[in-house]
Homo-oligomer: A and B are copies of this chain.
Amino acid sequence: MNRKDWITLFEQGDVRALSRVITWIENSGGEVPPELKPIFSRVGRAFRVGITGPPGAGKSTLVDGLSMLYRGEGRTVGIVAVDPTSPFSGGALLGDRVRMNRAGVDPGVFIRSMATRGNLGGLAEAAQDSADIMDAFGKDVVILETVGVGQSELDVARAADTTVVILVPESGDGVQAMKAGLMEIGDLFVLNKADRPAADRAAEELKSALDLKAVVDGWKPPVLSTIASKGQGLPELLEALKAHWQHLTETGALKAKRLNRRRQRIRAAAEKDLLTRFWDEERTQRLEECLKSDDNPFNIAAGLVKDYLKK
């Protein structure tokens, strides 16, 4: 079967074709192959939820439970699970592999796990590509699940319509989250593993800290307590997500967010295009010649650019 046939299957809603298309993009080093480009004009219908939190907060379990609830309402779900391999904390998680098996059970839930040891900039891009493809495929809800260990991972969650920050009672996560400015990115806060000691105090701390925060655009981020492993608190989370979506729709923020994602996508594509043209053989060779010069790098750079634009 050739690519054109696969794209026809994709348009017909075939899950194998969805998987295939995402793999093509991954394998092409982030460059979207020409025949896939038209797919991207259909992006912008799914509701995107970003879920982030420290390792071990129970994100996967919570996302799985949430997906089931969405399925129960007849909605289709796409999940992009970003699990970058921290150079110090080590390998990919077994848990994800278990979940990938589960995804086969319900064709209405599509999970794509991404682990990388390479460039995180590339990771954020690949995650957005996958989310866009799931959106274009027709998924009603696209969940971007990331381990909040670095800025790039947070940016992935942030690019969603609604960002959920998951914390656990131990180790003063609540207080630390405040310090580190996580407050600003969360539209919803979830205190998971709420059956552990000190959970109530942690939830209260979170709420007090949020009370100090200015209410933005009429939305006050709620704090929910869950025990994701038992499904406790998940229906309430689903309701809170719906409430935030409604808020976004009513204030026009949803439309603005979608427009901004499209704007960023065009910007990035234009920059990539321009830079690829700029670094042609001639320019690359000119750079090598310039290395011998004693001039400062900024003058040399400006010379290369002026020379290029003069052509």
The chain A residues found within 8 Å of chain B, CB to CB, are 32, 37-41, 53-54, 84-91, 117-121, 148-152, 154, 173, 175-177, 179-182, 259, 262-263, 265-267, 269-275, 277-278, 287-288, 290-291, 294-302, 304-305, 308-309
Closest chain B CB from A265 CB (angstroms):
4
**Which of B119, B121, B181, B287 sits near A87, CB closer than 8 Å?**
B181
- Decide: B87 and A296 in contact? CB cutoff 8 A: no
- Decide: B277 and A309 in contact? CB cutoff 8 A: yes
5 CB contacts below 8 A, A to B, read A88-B180, A90-B179, A149-B150, A272-B301, A277-B309
**Which of B119, B177, B308 sits near A151, CB closer than 8 Å?**
B119
With A37-B298, A296-B37 already in contact, the answer to whether A308 and B150 are too (CB < 8 A) is: no
A41 to B301 Cα, complex, angstroms = 13
- Decide: B274 and A278 in contact? CB cutoff 8 A: yes
Main secondary structure of the interface of A (DSSP, over half): helix
A53 to B274 Cα, complex, angstroms = 37
- Decide: B87 and A154 in contact? CB cutoff 8 A: yes
Closest chain B CB from A154 CB (angstroms):
6
A290 to B238 Cα, complex, angstroms = 36
With A277-B309, A278-B274, A298-B37 already in contact, the answer to whether A91 and B150 are too (CB < 8 A) is: no
A112 to B245 Cα, complex, angstroms = 45
Closest chain B CB from A120 CB (angstroms):
5
A272 to B117 Cα, complex, angstroms = 26
- Decide: B305 and A274 in contact? CB cutoff 8 A: yes
**Chain B residues near A262 (CB, 8 Å)?**
291, 297
A302 to B40 Cα, complex, angstroms = 14
- Decide: A89 and B176 in contact? CB cutoff 8 A: yes
**Which of B150, B277, B294, B295 sits near A86, CB closer than 8 Å?**
B150
**Which of B32, B118, B265, B290 sits near A266, CB closer than 8 Å?**
B290
